[in-house]
Structure 1
Amino acid sequence: MDDANAVKVAGVPTSTLNRIDLSGSDIRQSVSLLEQACLDSGFFYVINHGIGQDLMEEVFVQSRWFFGLPLSEKMKLLGNEKHRGRTPLLDEVLDAGNQVQGDYKEGYYTGAEVPEDDPDAQKPHFGPNLWPSEEILPRWRQTMEKFHSQALNVAKVVARIIALALDLEADFFDKPEILGEPILILRLLHYEGLISDPSKGIYGAGEHSDFGFITLLATDDVPGLQV
């Protein structure tokens, strides 16, 4: 992304994106910053979002534990038709026109937990999750469910700011006929470390546009997002 405010992190050009402060009292400033970000690049930082640092760190720890399991254990949790569970290495192809094989990443999907005997479980993208055994990964489910719930709260606050930026009522996206029952998917991603080489069609994640209403991306200290 071309940006006059670009800086370098570890020698890599990095953009200084707008920061949307969810704890700020000046809602108009947040609306203005978000509107500018969406028009200019489509990306922005969300700060003071209310998700504790301890929980964020635990999610990354638990994620590394899962992806570090033997393949035989991970294959027991292979993704199903409800898009819950593990996606293997090279399974996803995001840029079929340029990639010679799938992304060099593994993933794991969870969503809102809906019991199998609940009528809503028959809807696309709703149903029970696939969970690793407590004996193998203790606290894994509790950690992911807590993070899933708190991330949904953040998404709802951001959606209200987006509504105001569109000159709509703040609760427009909360309406049952709009996003009253959101399909929130939590995706854990693990990249294998292979350096992307576009000349050979090799990508950690191929070029793409997300298809949901909004994507909240939590990252660790390793820069990797390219806009």
Structure 2
Amino acid sequence: MENKSEEDVSIINVSSLSFIDFNNTDLHQSAVLLKNACLDCGFFYVVNHGISEELKEEAFEQSKKFFALPLEEKMKVLRNEKYRGYAPFHDSLLDPKNQVRGDYKECFTIGMEGPKDGLHEDGPNNWPNPNVLPGWQETMEKYYQEALRVCKSIARIMALALDLDEDYFDTLEMLGNPIADMFLVHYEGMSDPSKGIYACGAHSDFGMMSLLATDGVTGLQICRHKDVKPEKWEYIPSIKGAYIVNIGDLLERWSNGYFKSTLHRVLGNGLDRYSIPLFLKPSHDCIIECLPTCQSENNLPKCPAIKCSTYISQRYKAVHAHLKKP
């Protein structure tokens, strides 16, 4: 943490990202834009995605209602063994080398509804009492399905960007029954990197892609070149009607390092900030191995094949090794 004052100086201006327009009927043109975005910084916007502003606003309103509940009410749905439900402030520590305490955020996690004896990422959701928050579950389930639909549409363009068939990821073993977790997030407080205080510590997502909706409050930053010191951070602005998308470590591994997952973090500015990201991973049994278009005689697979559920489980354990127990 000796270079924290340097880090503050290294923050640069607002980043400019590419736009992927779902109204563009030329998918190959969209694929070129997406490919360039993934080779550049791994972040881009999607517009004309079909999610109504009314549904999005309702999801945010319902999210705010939950986080406004008394702590004892929120603790009734504390995250279960499947990591579904409420996680209080400081529960996650994503950058233990630089953070003096856990993230200044509280979360609520929703995933695919599954049986109690399912795999790690499957299981029952931990819904709030409908008498306390009427209509809350219905709104979140509807929004979840819409966000998942958009992710699957992006995956079709992503396939073209990787010189694969458009429907390459559409198979049952890939995105037919995906692992998809949606977080409701509430940040508060003022971040101070010089003191190791962050709304959300620096990290890269470990899935295939993430679809992010925000309330417009500034905070998200990316670091395009994580190996360059001092790190240079850029703010990603929230644009009305657009979603922010970024690729994760799993896609970096799948593409043999061709597309790179990007370091990002959130700095609090003293205002309440809300966001709703959905993190998409392939199906449990999907084998993550070098895609056929990402290897050659001179570019052999950098990582061995691994089952998606095994990979995700390993990443969960690594992250939660730094978490306090519920």
The 5-angstrom pairing of residues 1-227 of structure 1 reads 13-116=13-116, 121-192=117-188, 194-227=189-222
Cα shift at 1:99 = 0.5
Taking structure 2 as the reference length, what is the TM-score of the superposition?
A: 0.63
Per-residue CA distance 1:70-104 (angstroms, 9 max, x = gap): 00000001111111001110000010111011000
- The range that moved more, 68-77 or 122-131, is 122-131
Contact conserved, 2:115 with 2:123, CA < 8 A, in 1? yes
Distance (Å, rounded) in 1 between the aligned partners of 2:26 and 2:218:
30
Distance (Å, rounded) in 2 between the aligned partners of 1:55 and 1:180:
25
Letter of the 1:114 counterpart:
G
SS at match of 2:210: coil
Per-residue CA distance 1:98-145 (angstroms, 9 max, x = gap): 1011000000000011244xxxx5212111101111111111000000
Per-residue CA distance 1:146-185 (angstroms, 9 max, x = gap): 0110111100000011111001111111112223210110
Per-residue CA distance 1:33-82 (angstroms, 9 max, x = gap): 11011010110001011111000000110000000000000000111111
SS at match of 1:178: helix
SS at match of 1:158: helix
Runs of 4+ in 1 over 4 A off after TM superposition: none
SS at match of 2:124: coil
SS at match of 1:141: helix
Distance (Å, rounded) in 2 between the aligned partners of 1:124 and 1:160:
27
Distance (Å, rounded) in 2 between the aligned partners of 1:145 and 1:64:
16
Contact conserved, 2:115 with 2:122, CA < 8 A, in 1? no
Letter of the 2:219 counterpart:
G
Aligned length: 211
Contact conserved, 2:152 with 2:175, CA < 8 A, in 1? no
Distance (Å, rounded) in 2 between the aligned partners of 1:195 and 1:30:
38
* Residue segments in structure 2 that go unaligned for 5+ positions in a row: 1-11, 223-326
Taking structure 1 as the reference length, what is the TM-score of the superposition?
A: 0.90
Contact conserved, 2:104 with 2:199, CA < 8 A, in 1? yes
Distance (Å, rounded) in 1 between the aligned partners of 2:155 and 2:184:
22
How big is the alpha-carbon RMSD for the aligned residues of Structure 1 and Structure 2? 1.2
Distance (Å, rounded) in 1 between the aligned partners of 2:147 and 2:199:
25
Percent identity, please: 56
SS at match of 1:207: strand
Distance (Å, rounded) in 2 between the aligned partners of 1:21 and 1:28:
12
